[in-house]
Amino acid sequence: MRDAFHEDLNWISEQLVEMTRLAGSAMSRATTALLDADIALAEGVIAADQRLDDIRVQIDDRAIDLLARQQPVATDLRMIVTAMQMGADLERMGDLAKHIAKVARLRFPNSAVPAEIRPIIIEMDTVAKLIVTQTGAIISRKDAQGATQLVQADDRMDALHKQVFTLLLDERRQYGIEEAIDITLLARYYERFADHAVLVAHRVAYLVTGEWQTVEGRQPTDNDPQSTH
Amino acid sequence: MRDAFHEDLNWISEQLVEMTRLAGSAMSRATTALLDADIALAEGVIAADQRLDDIRVQIDDRAIDLLARQQPVATDLRMIVTAMQMGADLERMGDLAKHIAKVARLRFPNSAVPAEIRPIIIEMDTVAKLIVTQTGAIISRKDAQGATQLVQADDRMDALHKQVFTLLLDERRQYGIEEAIDITLLARYYERFADHAVLVAHRVAYLVTGEWQTVEGRQPTDNDPQSTH
């Protein structure tokens, strides 16, 4: 019975890794759709999000079934509850990639991103994918220290987020209000995507150690995008 | 033993209602701080958010303790898991009110909200508080039908959200980029606050009926704020 239990837990863990892969792929394709004004690709990202929603439901169903049948305590119990929270974070990351794809679709045949802001969006995408890929590996290895390795990438995301606002507010450039609205929301979507991925990595540490790991005293919380302009 | 179990469940339910009260109060005071450029009030909202975080931790601890000690199945199990999800939503609502307070603090001694947009922000606040107050009552009464009563208020919030973008893009008005950034994010915070409250009300229905209630085929999901401009 215990073996069947751990097989089920492994299955849940594999599904969470699969969700990181799908979320990373969705982000990648959403960014391409946005920069290339590729509406077919945008539609593909929007449609594919259902897969992430479905996996999350399957994880919840399996988790609740496990709780009912096996009545786990201590670490096993904590693992199941935490897995459900991780599923919720990863589903939300898919939503954020979908929002980016919807901006691409809305502005088609134009691109929502002005030329000077493209390099920042490209790097935000790169950092987001790096974080979500590492988070997948952290889940897979049950790596309690893994979240600490994401600090640098997460700091880079915050710096890019600030850079977007600095550029938008540069008086030598004359952005339109519509551009400002799009870019403000896009930057928030990338930044929140990374936040949720970092939170998932922290949950792995919590699972393994039972302690909520803070990195240099920092909790993985929502940043305030405006605090720097 | 079962009586102690239901006492614990009642305690959790009361804490969730208390969270709706605190989230509503935070939103109310954040809006006043924003419109009156009242920095002391803004600081108060930011500091008070800790209370919501604490209650959420207490709910999770009690829920996990209940799962371990009582090993509930069926409806009781579902109630506990769902209560944890509701706690997460309500904590997030507190974060969103705090973000609004932080915009107020950032722009002090000015108000971040231009005169023509004030009436919309005031109404967004009114609708947000109406929804969170009703959600508190829905939790309290375990009202499976309650979420359907929020449709109108939620539609109103969406309409206000669109109205903000229409105003921002009105060419006769000349908004600055900084104003556009602030208003874009503020409008998103109000709208997300209402979304989470509606989601909590839907979770009550799920708790009571075991069925995820969709209202006129709609799932309570994140709207795409840009889809209408």
Rounded CA separation A86/A96 (Å): 15
Question: Which of B45, B163, B174, B181 to probe the A interface (max A CBs under 10 A)?
Answer: B181
pLDDT given at position B213: 58
Q: What is the DSSP string of B173-228?
A: S---HHHHHHHHHHHHHHHHHHHHHHHHHHHHHHHHHSS---BTTB------GGGG
B183 pLDDT more than 80: yes
User: Average of pLDDT values for B192-212?
Assistant: 88
pLDDT bucket at B223, cuts 50 / 70 / 90: low
Distance from CA of A126 to the nearest CA of B (A): 24
Q: pLDDT class for B212, splitting at 50, 70, 90?
A: low
For residues A214 and A203, the model is more confident at A203
Q: What pLDDT, on a 0 to 100 scale, did the predictor assign at position B209? A: 77
pLDDT digits (tens, 9 = 90+) for A90-115: 999 999 999 999 999 999 999 999 99
Specify the amino acid at residue A65.
D
Higher pLDDT, B198 or B221: B198
Nearest to B102 among A175, A182, A224 (CB): A224
Residues of A in contact with B226 (CB under 8 A): 102-103, 106, 181-182, 185
Tokens found for residue B199: 């989601």
State the pLDDT at residue A104.
98
Per-residue pLDDT band for B218 (boundaries 50, 70, 90) equals: very low
Q: How would you class A35 by CB atoms within 10 Å of its CB: exposed for 0-12, middle for 13-18, buried for 19 or more?
A: middle
pTM over 0.95: no
pLDDT at B217: 40
What digits encode the pLDDT tens for the residues B114-151? 999 999 999 999 999 999 999 999 999 999 999 999 99
B contact residues 101-160, partner A, Cβ 8 Å cutoff: 102-103, 106
pLDDT tens-digit readout, A144-179: 999 999 999 999 999 999 999 999 999 888 899 999
The 10s digit of each residue's pLDDT in B1-46 is: 568 888 999 999 999 999 999 999 999 999 999 999 999 999 999 9
Residue A218, SS3?
strand
Taking the Cβ of residue A95 and every Cβ of chain B, the question of whether any pair is shorter than 8 Å is answered with: yes
**B66-118: per-residue pLDDT in tens?**
999 999 988 889 999 999 999 999 999 999 999 999 999 999 999 999 999 99
As separate numbers, helices (DSSP H) first and strands (DSSP E) second, chain A gives 6, 0
Answer whether A76 touches B (CB < 8 Å). no
| Selection from A149, A164, A169 nearest residue A213 by Cα | A149
pLDDT at residue A228 greater than cutoff 80? no
Count Cα atoms within 13 angstroms, Cβ side, for A51. 16
A189 has a pLDDT exceeding 50: yes
Q: Do A84 and B88 touch (CB under 8 A)?
A: no
Higher-confidence position of B178 and A207: B178
Cα gap B222→B207, rounded to integer Å: 21
Q: Is the per-residue pLDDT at B228 higher than 60? A: no
Q: Looking at CA atoms only, how far is residue A77 from chain B in angstroms?
A: 7
Helix ranges (H only) for B72-150 are 74-107, 118-141
Mean pLDDT within A187-197 = 97
Contacts of A83 in chain B (CB under 8 A): none
Cβ–Cβ contacts within 10 Å for residue A7, how many? 10
**Rounded Cα–Cα distance for residues B202 and B85 (Å):** 11
- Residue of chain A whose alpha carbon sits nearest to that of B166: A178
CB contacts, 8 Å: A227 with chain B? 102, 106
Indicate if the pLDDT at residue A223 is higher than 90.
no
* Gap between the Cα atoms of A104 and A30, Å rounded: 8
> Do A100 and A128 meet the contact criterion of CB atoms below 8 Å apart?
no
Query: What average pLDDT score do residues A20-49 get?
Result: 98
**Nearest residue, CB atoms, B77 vs list A64, A184, A222:** A64
Specify the pLDDT at position A11.
Answer: 96
Phi-psi group of B143: left, alpha or beta (phi > 0 → left; psi -120 to 50 → alpha; rest → beta)? beta
CATH 1.10.3720.10 is held by the domain B1-209: no
Q: What per-residue confidence (pLDDT) applies to A2?
A: 60
Do A87 and B84 form a contact (C-beta atoms < 8 A)? Answer: no
* Amino acid present at A136: G
Q: Which residue has the higher pLDDT, A124 or A221?
A: A124
Q: And the tokens for B132?
A: 């969170």
Contact (CB, 8 A) for B210 and B75: yes
- Residue A212 predicted with pLDDT over 90: no
pLDDT in tens, A53-76: 999 999 999 999 999 999 998 888
- φ, ψ for residue A145 (rounded to 5)? -95, -10
Cβ contact, residue pair B181, A184, below 8 Å: yes
Q: Mean per-residue pLDDT for A129-145?
A: 96
